[in-house]
Chains A and B, each alone.
Chain A
Amino acid sequence: MTESYDEVMQLLCDRLNAIVNSNTLVTADTNLITQLSIDSIKLLNLIMEIEDAFDISIPINALADVQTVRQLADLVHKIKTSS
């Protein structure tokens, strides 16, 4: 598959900027929980959207180690390239 890491990161930042109505600009180092205070259901729904955007399966238990946008992008990219 062809999506590059940058494309994954861009999509994540765009989607996150759209769903958090705060003044924080979302970047790779933004912490999803402490800075965006995304609640668990919002995060899980975002995961569904990402699955659809890249046509992959992201098990939600794999999110246990994800805190920042970069870590999420790493996970998505890893699944994307290994599928």
Chain B
Amino acid sequence: MSLLQKLDAAAAARKAMLPDGVGAFGIPIEEVYSATEARIGSRRVILLGTNNYLGLTFAPECIRAAHQAIDQEGTGTTGSRMANGSYFGHRALEREFADFYQCDSAIVFTTGYQANLGTISGLVGAGDTVLIDGDSHASIYDGCILSGADIIRFKHNDPDDMEKRLRRLGKRVENTLIIAEGIYSMLGDQAPLAKIVRLKNAYGCVLLLDEAHSLGVLGETGQGLVETTGLLQQVDFITGTFSKSLCSIGGFCVSNHPQLEQLRYVSHPYIFTASPSPATIASTRAALALLRNGSHLRKRLWENCNQLYAQLQEAGYQLGPDPGPVIAAIMDTPQQALLMWKSLLEHNIYVNLILPPAAPEGKSLVRCSVNAAHTPEQIRYVGDTFVKLYPMVAV
């Protein structure tokens, strides 16, 4: 089979799985009105398929900062920091992240994807081992593959299974990096961090936690799962993204290990890519300040999360185990998920359709993401619509 024929075969398999579902991915959004509303086709929809957890996409402070940065520093840096230099904003944002996490060092990456690629491939290499959660995000898998380390998976959120695999590694645990996520992106459940930390200390490994979906969402100041569990000082490396609660693009890694700095000289996903644009950095800095002082936003967010989760659960939907901003209704088949997704859109509600293998264990999901800017009326309308549609997918 030629290279292009292989792509044709993959496309045919995709279309065969869900002939009517072709339009469901990468849907055109014609106009964005606010953090919670946009136009799809001729419909004004409620946005419930973003990761805009604090609802800051239109925060005036962030917009103003981005405008100013473009005026003063231009639209792009046109190169990597290694070669072209680090702007004031890059360095300031790193200091602000280090301060936020009470850590010695922070590195800013151009995307969250690259933060995981760059950190993992900088920390481990051939002959080392990474022990990762079975439901890890693709950026974690790809970072592990790039590193050349041996990759071992443990059952999702199962510390006993993790320990079994640690024990099997024998002496190799000394060179093992454990990776987990604060909140998992598909089912919205949280890692059992206290148990993971206990094991990593008992076996003498290094722990990396990706707080992509928990930054700004969990904890009094929004640090993430490390804050709600009080385990900040026990996690060796924290990565995260600017693309969700911070409403821009980019990623970071923070650590108290001084060795983090060495990644700037060895990590290809840091070195061989252009640094974030001035506007991106400026709006991220403004958003980080809002996030740190955003306990009122988190209060609003959690009221919304708890209300929608309770209403869907009451209606009979099978949901992920933990209430939170990611609320996934688990469907038996891709066809049911597509039907639900389409019906919600017909009711002017936009959610994410997640099909295997993107969803864990062959499941299909209708994934809602709730934010702090959703009004109680919007959340009630979404909940009521789900309740109304339930008979369509009930078995």
Contacts and interface: CB of A to CB of B under 8 A. Distances in A.
A45 interface: yes
B165 A51 contact: yes
Interface bracket on A: 10 to 19
Contacts of B362: 41-42
Interface stretch (B77-85, B147-155, B179-187, B292-300): B147-155
Contacts of A44: 134, 153
Interface stretch (A2-10, A52-60, A65-73): A52-60
B357 A48 contact: no
B361 interface: yes
B152 A59 contact: yes
B53 to A, nearest CB: 27
Interface in A4-59: 39-42, 44-45, 47-48, 51-52, 55-59
A41 B151 contact: no
Contacts of A57: 129, 150, 152, 165, 168-169
B272 to A, nearest CB: 22
Contacts of A48: 134, 153, 155
B150 A41 contact: no
B168 A51 contact: yes
Contacts of A60: 151-153
Interface in B112-147: 129, 134, 144-145
B357 A59 contact: no
B230 interface: no
The A interface, classified by DSSP as helix, strand, loop or mixed, is helix
A61 B124 CA distance: 14
Contacts of B356: 39, 41
B357 A39 contact: yes
Contacts of B360: 41
Contacts of A61: 144-145, 148-151
A55 B167 CA distance: 10
Nearest to B13: A37
A52 B164 CA distance: 9
Nearest to B145: A61
A59 B361 contact: no
B146 to A, nearest CB: 11
B361 A41 contact: yes
Nearest to B1: A34
A62 B153 CA distance: 13
Contacts of B169: 57
Contacts of A56: 168
Contact of A45 (B134, B144, B164, B168): B134
Interface of B: 129, 134, 144-145, 148-153, 155, 164-165, 168-169, 356-357, 360-362
Interface of A: 39-42, 44-45, 47-48, 51-52, 55-62
29 contacts: A39-B356, A39-B357, A40-B357, A41-B356, A41-B357, A41-B360, A41-B361, A44-B134, A45-B134, A47-B153, A48-B134, A48-B153, A48-B155, A51-B152, A51-B168, A55-B168, A57-B152, A58-B152, A59-B129, A59-B150, A59-B151, A59-B152, A60-B151, A60-B152, A61-B148, A61-B149, A61-B150, A61-B151, A62-B150
Given A39-B356, A60-B153, A61-B148, 7 more contacts: A41-B362, A48-B155, A51-B165, A51-B168, A57-B129, A57-B169, A61-B144
